[in-house]
Chains A and B, each alone.
Chain A
């Protein structure tokens, strides 16, 4: 499988170590994808990494990725300037089950860099607002200056997404919630029929499921996006195994009960 070349047409720095890059295919083809899918992205020879697509699914002319620079490969991607080319393979993976949750209340629970993989889902839900009940975003970050897409939250709110944001700690200039996302669950007054889609640090997602359970929301109502060392993206190289499942192919989106047993085993 040969990667396709995509040129960086726009680049924006979101926080100290997060950039959003907007890409267009050299071939001119739109990049169709479903919310929750990822690509294997690379800059030069620095190595491919799995990055969730963060753009609007109904605007496939641009492929958008929001990337946190945590290692060599991601640093190289984040350093790419407009006019440079990145290599893309994909899209891969099982997407968010948006078509299956019509009529329900949907809660999007995002932690930190977990918001970009959920952004396409939010945009799709808002584009088809009439199909869903209550839509709520619970978004948590480490501190106010690490929050992403803050300029869009207001617009989403106007289009019918309730937004609750919290940070682990803040100074006095922050007038929002301070505390972990599980604290927001209680304030959110969720009904039992709700569907929850979550992406963020694995620890956060585990505790979120417990907090939802305490509010009477079963873990079978929770979908999460997982991460492991995905390399080929097609279930062949073996690296992303988590017990019997291959995250690149059976995931990255899973219903919680599919995983809970395996996530409880250390170093699995």
Chain B
């Protein structure tokens, strides 16, 4: 049975971190089985945790009254779910829902955030890695936006 630090090194987001850093992060984490249809995060609520998907799918969605929730993106095994814990105002911008039963690693975002404020090396590492994730998803979202309008109108 693998430990959380071992699982983290498989994830591109955490690979390459120093062992002591990984150990600290693993200390803020625990394994969770989450049932299908669970709302991991709700728009506007305080963002205090984040997740790494080991198995299963999480849908990021926007709810608008009168319509089925709009699924913006689905995240899968190896993806990190949730950045808002690291950036002010530390509130979720979307809803996140488990599509099927999921195996997740749940991180205490508040604890990690506070550690980043005192340990800038760790802070820099996490900021760089999460920013890289954000950039990748932003570019993907821009492409998604262009498709929706049926013409390529936005450039990255």
Contact = CB atoms under 8 A, between A and B. Distances in A.
Q: Do A and B come into direct contact in the complex, CB within 8 Å?
A: yes
Interface of A: 143, 168-171, 178, 201-203, 206-207, 210, 213-214, 260, 264, 266-267
B19 interface: no
A203 B64 CA distance: 6
A170 B149 CA distance: 10
B55 interface: no
Interface in B39-64: 42-44, 62-64
A264 B154 contact: no
B63 A169 contact: no
Given A213-B89, A214-B88, A264 B44 contact: yes
Contacts of B44: 206, 210, 260, 264
A168 B145 CA distance: 9
Which of B62, B65, B89, B93 has the most CB atoms of chain A within a 10 A radius of its CB?
B65
B113 interface: no
Nearest to A206: B43
Q: Please provide the 9 A-B residue pairs with the shortest distance between their CB atoms, ordered closest to farther.
A: A169-B153, A169-B149, A203-B64, A266-B63, A214-B89, A264-B44, A203-B62, A169-B154, A202-B64
Interface size range on B against A: 10 to 19
Contact of A169 (B42, B88, B89, B145): B145
A62 to B, nearest CB: 32
Contacts of B153: 169-171
Contacts of B89: 210, 213-214
Given A169-B154, A213-B89, A267 B43 contact: no
Interface in B58-107: 62-65, 69, 88-89, 91, 93
Given A206-B43, A264-B42, 18 more contacts: A143-B149, A168-B145, A168-B149, A169-B145, A169-B146, A169-B149, A169-B154, A202-B64, A202-B65, A203-B62, A207-B93, A210-B44, A210-B91, A214-B88, A260-B44, A264-B43, A266-B63, A267-B65
B88 A178 contact: no
B146 to A, nearest CB: 8
21 contacts: A168-B145, A168-B149, A169-B145, A169-B146, A169-B153, A169-B154, A170-B153, A178-B154, A202-B64, A202-B65, A203-B62, A203-B64, A210-B44, A210-B89, A213-B89, A214-B88, A214-B89, A264-B42, A264-B44, A266-B63, A266-B69
